[in-house]
Amino acid sequence: MPPPSDVQTQPIIAFAGVSKVYPARNESAEVVALHDIDLQVPQGAIVGVIGKSGAGKSTLIRLINGLERPSRGSVLVNGTDVTALGERDLREARRSIGMIFQHFNLLSSRTAFENIALPLEIAGVAKSEIAGIVGPLLAMVGLSDKRDRYPAELSGGQKQRVGIARALATKPKVLLSDEATSALDPETTDQILSLLKTINAELKLTIVFITHEMSVVKKLADRVAVLEGGRIVEQGTTFEVFANPRHETTKRFVGSITGGNVPEWLRAKLKPERLAGDSAVLHVGFTGRGAGQPVLSRLARNFGIDVNILHGQVETIASHPFGSLFISVAADPEVLGKVIAELKAGQNTVEHLGYVA
Ligand SMILES: Nc1ncnc2c1ncn2[C@@H]1O[C@H](COP(=O)(O)OP(=O)(O)OP(=O)(O)O)[C@@H](O)[C@H]1O
Ligand SMILES: [Mg+2]
């Protein structure tokens, strides 16, 4: 896939022709975890990598901080090819790359303060300076009052805040997140996502995060790459990908949050043939252009027909309204043709699914 056209400045992370093969061991065959990945992350961007379990997401992110080495290709971070570094230079390079994890990976024998201080101690920062760095970090993540608490005394969201502060301690340029909200409830997830957005804006920190949830991509990412079977099958701005998903996998991910998938109860009622008195069922996709207009009430008025919303949602993503609705239209075949033409003229996508009684 060619690099997206909206990437103008020098990217802070650039994958070029990267493949990763885990060699065969004992009974298990070799695994090609990534195939020929080209990915560019613009400075200051928040990029989401989404894919199903086993798609290669963690492998991809671990290549950025050198926890894995590629079998082919190069990974440039901030102009340095991390795949060519020796252990010592790699340790140095990792200070500019922070990482947060699904299960937080805190040391249970250390307080919040001491966990955040750990990377500074490892980097050889003088004890006298450490408090001056950790204090403001605790404040930034909203945990000043928990500085002397141990992980067992903190909630999941608070533990992840400690994880974020620890990742920021060495003033990284890039923050990597491997399913950092997957173990949290929806409300706590939202709080952590807003914290990450704030950090991105205030510290101009580039964020690459992986997730299997499209709702997280929607809330956090300004760009997204879809990984399937070790390949990037689709990438672009979050809006482009949501508004016009091309690959089947992307369509399913997008459908999972925009109501684009036919709900079971409706599928069960749908009939392929029309009987007298039946209503036609249409799936209308709003792609950021037609949405926002009072399309449905206009239809009802112009054609003198009943239009009912059965399912779906229209919402705002990256400042563009879009989404999808399932509607029933009580109209005979001739009028139905005109209704569909009118919906399409408003640049919506329209699919005629069948009929309901
Ligand atoms: N160290 C390893 N040795 C051998 N195979 C591995 C290793 N790590 C990952 N794999 C394999 O590589 C493929 C990609 O794994 P990866 O962990 O990158 O997927 P993922 O997208 O992060 O999945 P999940 O959502 O389950 O975390 C999988 O088939 C996995 O079994
Ligand atoms: Mg993983």
Per-residue DSSP letters for 193-234?
Answer: HHHHHHHHHHH--EEEEEES-HHHHHHH-SEEEEEETTEEEE
51 lines ligand 1 (CB under 6 A): yes
Which of 31, 32, 213 for mutating ligand 1's site (highest number of atoms within 8 Å of CB)?
Answer: 31
179 CA distance to ligand 1 centroid (A)? 14
Region 279-303 average pLDDT: 77
| CA 212–ligand 2 middle distance (angstroms) | 9
Ligand nearest 33 Cα, by number? 1
- Confidence at residue 7, expressed as pLDDT on a 0 to 100 scale: 45
pLDDT at residue 132, rounded to an integer: 97
Mean pLDDT of 159-163: 98
Query: What is the enclosing helix (H) or strand (E) of 233?
Result: strand 231-237
For 210-237, what is each residue's pLDDT tens digit?
999 988 998 999 999 999 999 999 999 9
- 53 in ligand 1 pocket by Cβ < 6 Å? yes
Q: Lowest mean pLDDT: which of 3-12, 35-44, 57-66?
A: 3-12
Mean pLDDT of 74-94: 92
What's the whole-number average pLDDT of the chain? Answer: 90
- Number of the ligand closest to the Cα of 230: 1
Multiple choice CATH, 264-356, 3.30.70.260, 3.40.50.280, 1.20.140.10, 3.40.50.300: 3.30.70.260
186-206 per-position pLDDT tens digit: 999 999 999 999 999 999 999
Q: Averaged over 176-185, what is the pLDDT?
A: 95
Looking at residue 319, its pLDDT comes to: 60
CA–CA separation, 166 and 26 (whole Å): 38
Class of domain 11-96+172-257: alpha beta
Q: What's the pLDDT band for 45 if we cut at 50, 70, 90?
A: very high
Q: CATH 3.30.70.260 spans which residues of the chain?
A: 264-356
**Rounded mean pLDDT of 150-173?**
97
Length in residues, the chain: 357
Which atom number of ligand 1 is nearest to the Cα of residue 28?
Answer: 4
Instruction: Report whether pLDDT(287) > 80.
Output: no
Residues in the 5 Å CB sphere of ion ligand 2: 58
pLDDT higher than 70, residue 294: no
Identify the pLDDT of residue 274: 87
Where are the domain boundaries for CATH 3.40.50.300 in the chain? 11-96+172-257
The Cα 241–Cα 257 span in angstroms is 13
Label residue 81 by pLDDT band (50, 70, 90): very high
State whether the beta carbon of 67 lies less than 6 angstroms from ligand 1.
no
Average pLDDT over residues 31-52: 96
What share of the chain has pLDDT > 70, as a percent?
Answer: 93
pTM of the model: 0.80
